[in-house]
Amino acid sequence: MPWLNSVSWWVFAIAGAVFAGATNVFIKAGMGGVNSDLATAARTTLAVPIVWLIAIFAAPKLSEIAHWSARNWLFITFSALASGLSWLCMYKSISLAGITKTLPIDKSSIAFGVILAVIFLRERPNWQYIVATLLVLTALAVTLIPEKKADVSPTLTTQTQNHK
């Protein structure tokens, strides 16, 4: 998709953060009555095969997976999709702007996850989590302030050379 090359790095960083935040909401929505280790393993089989080994030892019964509901599978699938989109956006942003610009924005997924949990899962965070979420969003805003480029005026350069 050629149009992707014209999109700024921060768009990918924010999109990646939103997808990462959604990942947490989707996995929680799909967890009703499901072992979290098995759900995580199902979601990340291709990316992290070792999680299956941990899940097999941590889960009471591996056969439990056969009894998961369509809802469990639906939201685990949504979580996997959000994870993949998050990774694609983050890696694209990193390739365009580097890690030091991308990762602080990536961590704003914490705030997006909290906001999505409040909206879709009806969670009610206490005041400390609300303040923390607002601080994360403030940090996101600070990282998006355009950088000032150093102004090297010819007059200053000439004056400096004349005093040598």
Burial class (CB in 10 A: 0-12, 13-18, 19+), 139: middle
How many domains would you assign to the chain?
Answer: 1
Q: Is the pTM of this model over 0.85?
A: no
Which pLDDT band, with edges at 50, 70 and 90, does 1 fall under? very low
Q: Which of 14, 17, 12, 18 is nearest to 119 (CA)?
A: 18
Residue 12 near residue 93 (C-beta atoms within 8 A): yes
Domain of 133? 2-162
Q: What pLDDT is attached to residue 154?
A: 59
Give the span between the Cα atoms of 151 and 163, in whole angstroms: 20
How far is 95 from 21, CA to CA, in rounded Å?
A: 21
pLDDT per residue as tens digits for the range 132-160 = 999 999 999 998 888 887 766 655 555 55
